Chains A and B, each alone.
Chain A
Amino acid sequence: MTDTTIQNLQSRDPFADDNEGGGSQDGHIHIRIQQRNGRKTLTTVQGIRPDYDLKKIVKACKKEFACNGTVVEHPEYGEVIQLQGDQRQHISQFLKKVGLAREDQLKVHGF
């Protein structure tokens, strides 16, 4: 009994884990696709928690999917990964594999 009361007394910042996914409040990682000219596409990954080093993620992704990619800073959505080509399946598998996100945290958009 005493234990629980003490635990309750511990001041815990209710917003401590609220900053996940800079911008996307629900903690989802959104994977989107955009069409470019011709049959070229671009995959964007938005909402990876900012406490991860996105540059390193991109570096690993680039190597794994054999595509180019970059991290762009967006005032509203935070850091967003861009990858060339349709990497939606790849990136979702990758994020699951490395344990960055669970299945239910990923939201794959697009056609």
Chain B
Amino acid sequence: MDDGPMFDLTKKKKKKKGTFTLDGEMEVQKESSKSPADPAEPEEVSFEQNTEEISLDEDFSNLAKKKKKKKKPFSLTEMEESLPSGEPANDSTTTKPDSDPEPPAPEGVDPMEEGFDLGSLPMKKKKRKKVILIEPGEEEDVTDGGQGVGAVEGTTWQQDSGVEYTYDELLNRVFDIMRERNPEMVAGEKRKFIMKPPQVLRVGTKKTSFSNFADICKMLHRQPKHLLAFLLAELGTSGSIDGNNQLIIKGRFQQKQIENVLRSYIKEYVTCHTCRSPDTILQKDTRLYFLQCETCGSRCSVASIKSGFQAVTGKRAAIRARTK
């Protein structure tokens, strides 16, 4: 969350622009309806979507969520939402049909992840405790979700009492202790990597332009060449960077599709594989690319970009003529 302000800034800028075509809006809606049900996306990279259709206060609630809830009025509902509940992610989204235009943070299936979710923000946790004390009736969901925590708070831990604690209780205890001892660690764990959405426009019928390509490269601290190679290899097409630093890709691609590819790029080549921090440097060393993390200092090699097999899709006669 440390780099939140920077990205938030860009976001605000973005909002003022508000240049979204109709089909862009439609995509966004589609994605917001789809992505919560899509648990296959473990990456915590979220592209904020801002459309004019989303009403203003929703936008603000969104903002508030990202900014560790500076806006109090929304914090309650937002908290309820952001807290992991016992139910699967789908349920919580159905109860709140379209209050959140961006996909909620993917809820980990395994208890580890859930634990981290629980304490995603140290501030939030403290607040929640207070809230539970003040109005227990209203926060039914939360107490239900964080049942273990509540139980733990009430219990005094005794080693030889013969009481058998459940796994969940003990797990919650461990995470509570971890959170208490080092709040920064937990905050870092759930760092959300917020990106500007790629601006993707159709050029003619067969080409797509990715106009803020250079900006995105800058934000990711990656060579445009590298991202370009990845994008083209993943999409299985050809393309180039034109005069005003926008990327022209052959083929029809929508913003959502480019976002997906960018997500996989970030997962593979930007976030540290050990601590998931986006603060990394990609360096080339003896023909191999290494990802050096600035936060934890880990260094690991990443796969080189290979486009792999390309099937013949064009006119075979033309290819034959060219080779002759």
Say yes or no: A111 contacts B257, CB within 8 Å. Answer: yes
Most buried by B among A24, A37, A109: A109
Most buried by A among B251, B253, B254, B308: B308
Interface hit among A5-13, A27-35, A55-63, A94-102: A27-35
Q: Which residue of A lies closest to B249 (CB)?
A: A35
Say yes or no: B313 contacts A36, CB within 8 Å. Answer: yes
Output the least CB separation between B268 and chain A (Å): 11
Say yes or no: A80 contacts B261, CB within 8 Å. Answer: no
Most buried by A among B236, B258, B261: B236
Q: Which residue of A lies closest to B250 (CB)?
A: A35
Could you mark each residue 246-262 of chain B with 1 if its beta carbon is under 8 Å from any beta carbon of chain A, else 0?
Answer: 00000111101110110
The CA of A32 and the CA of B308, in the complex, are separated in Å by 9
Output the least CB separation between B116 and chain A (Å): 23
Residue A67 lies at the interface, judged by CB distance under 8 Å to chain B? no
The CA of A61 and the CA of B283, in the complex, are separated in Å by 42
Among the listed B258, B303, B309, B310, which residue makes an inter-chain contact with A111, where contact means beta carbons less than 8 Å apart? B258
The CA of A36 and the CA of B3, in the complex, are separated in Å by 40
Q: Which residue of B lies closest to A24 (CB)?
A: B308
Among the listed A37, A74, A111, which residue makes an inter-chain contact with B253, where contact means beta carbons less than 8 Å apart? A111
Could you mark each residue 59-96 of chain A with 1 if its beta carbon is under 8 Å from any beta carbon of chain B, else 0?
Answer: 00000000000001010010010100000000000000
Among the listed B252, B253, B260, B313, which residue makes an inter-chain contact with A34, where contact means beta carbons less than 8 Å apart? B313
The answer to whether A111 and B260 touch (CB under 8 A), given A32-B236, A35-B251, is yes
Output the least CB separation between A106 and chain B (Å): 12
Residue B237 lies at the interface, judged by CB distance under 8 Å to chain A? yes
The answer to whether A82 and B236 touch (CB under 8 A), given A35-B251, A111-B257, is no
Residue A54 lies at the interface, judged by CB distance under 8 Å to chain B? no
The answer to whether A42 and B258 touch (CB under 8 A), given A34-B236, A109-B234, is no
Say yes or no: B261 contacts A82, CB within 8 Å. Answer: no
Residue B311 lies at the interface, judged by CB distance under 8 Å to chain A? yes
Output the least CB separation between A49 and chain B (Å): 15
Among the listed B236, B251, B311, which residue makes an inter-chain contact with A72, where contact means beta carbons less than 8 Å apart? B311
Q: Which residue of B lies closest to A33 (CB)?
A: B236
Among the listed B254, B257, B261, B309, which residue makes an inter-chain contact with A32, where contact means beta carbons less than 8 Å apart? B309
Among the listed A74, A80, A109, which residue makes an inter-chain contact with B236, where contact means beta carbons less than 8 Å apart? A109
The CA of A18 and the CA of B81, in the complex, are separated in Å by 49
Say yes or no: B234 contacts A44, CB within 8 Å. Answer: no
Say yes or no: B309 contacts A74, CB within 8 Å. Answer: yes
Say yes or no: A44 contacts B311, CB within 8 Å. Answer: yes
Say yes or no: B313 contacts A35, CB within 8 Å. Answer: yes
Say yes or no: B311 contacts A82, CB within 8 Å. Answer: yes
Say yes or no: B309 contacts A77, CB within 8 Å. Answer: yes
Say yes or no: B308 contacts A35, CB within 8 Å. Answer: no
Output the least CB separation between A48 and chain B (Å): 12
The CA of A26 and the CA of B235, in the complex, are separated in Å by 21
Among the listed A42, A72, A77, A111, which residue makes an inter-chain contact with B235, where contact means beta carbons less than 8 Å apart? A111
Say yes or no: B311 contacts A34, CB within 8 Å. Answer: yes
CB contact list, B281-324 vs A, under 8 A:
303, 308-311, 313
The CA of A85 and the CA of B186, in the complex, are separated in Å by 44
Q: Which residues of A contact B (CB under 8 A)?
A: 24, 26, 30, 32-37, 39, 42, 44, 46, 72, 74, 77, 80, 82, 109-111
Q: Which residues of B contact A (CB under 8 A)?
A: 233-237, 251-254, 256-258, 260-261, 303, 308-311, 313
24 contacts between A and B (CB under 8 A): A30-B309, A33-B236, A34-B236, A34-B237, A34-B311, A34-B313, A35-B236, A35-B237, A35-B313, A42-B311, A42-B313, A44-B308, A44-B309, A44-B311, A74-B309, A77-B308, A80-B309, A109-B236, A110-B234, A110-B235, A111-B234, A111-B235, A111-B253, A111-B256
The 8 closest A-B pairs by CB, nearest first: A111-B257, A35-B251, A34-B236, A46-B309, A77-B309, A80-B309, A36-B313, A111-B260
| Further pairs besides A34-B310, A110-B234, A111-B260: 5, Cβ < 8 Å | A24-B308, A35-B251, A37-B313, A39-B252, A110-B261
